[in-house]
């Protein structure tokens, strides 16, 4: 029989020890959605923001928690993707497709990330995230994304691993040119 011991807990993180194995759970959330958006001009949209655990800015695709709002506990990944895309980038997608639900770090967390491709975008707002966020939006031609990310990394930014998974799905669906 498995025995859980809670070592620490906050609203959205819980550290658990189960039969000698320590890991993190995501209470009050059903996972994370990561949006891979492509504009009409075949530009991928990335977001840049300061990430306290890293102590520096990171390049990511738009993303956020799912099911973390009262009344939205069973939020669908595609609906969460639409919400996060508008909030962080100011773009709304007419077409969205859930392409993968994957473990973020199977040995460390129970969190699943749901990758959603988004295209046929229209600008509907300013983006930039909620009041506590300082998000910078970058639009990069799909064929130049890898070189752009390498340059950002050389400039001292961290590239989130989910970016590379998202690029795989983007290239698989839309090609690199």
- Count of domains observed in the chain: 1
Task: Give the DSSP H/E element, type plus range, for residue 6.
Answer: strand 4-9
Does residue 90 belong to any structural domain of this protein? yes
Q: Give the pTM.
A: 0.92
Q: Give me the CATH number covering residue 86.
A: 3.90.79.10
Confidence (pLDDT) at 127:
85
Q: Is residue 1 pLDDT above 70, yes or no? A: no
Give the Cα separation of 81 and 76 in Å (integer).
9
Whether residue 102 contacts residue 112, with contact meaning beta carbons closer than 8 Å, is answered with: yes
- Domain residue limits at 164: 30-102+109-174
Confidence (pLDDT) at 168:
97
Does residue 14 belong to any structural domain of this protein? no
Share above pLDDT 70 across residues of the chain, in percent, rounded to a whole number: 98
């Amino acid at each position: 029989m498995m025995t859980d011991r809670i070592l620490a807990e906050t609203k959205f993180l819980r550290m658990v020890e189960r039969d000698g194995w320590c890991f993190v759970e995501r209470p009050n959330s059903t996972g994370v959605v990561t949006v891979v958006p492509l504009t009409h001009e075949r530009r991928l949209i990335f977001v840049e923001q300061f990430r306290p655990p890293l102590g520096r800015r990171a390049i990511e695709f738009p993303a956020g928690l799912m099911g973390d709002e009262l009344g939205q506990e069973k939020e669908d990944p595609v609906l969460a993707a639409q919400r996060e895309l508008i909030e962080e980038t100011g773009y709304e997608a007419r077409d969205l497709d859930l392409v993968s639900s994957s473990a973020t770090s199977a040995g460390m967390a129970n969190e699943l990330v749901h990758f959603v491709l988004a295209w046929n975008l229209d600008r509907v707002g300013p983006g930039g995230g909620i009041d506590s966020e300082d998000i910078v939006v970058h639009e990069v031609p799909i064929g130049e994304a890898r070189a752009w990310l390498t340059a950002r990394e050389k400039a001292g930014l961290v590239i989130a691993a989910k970016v590379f998974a998202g690029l795989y799905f983007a290239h698989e669906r839309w090609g690199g040119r």
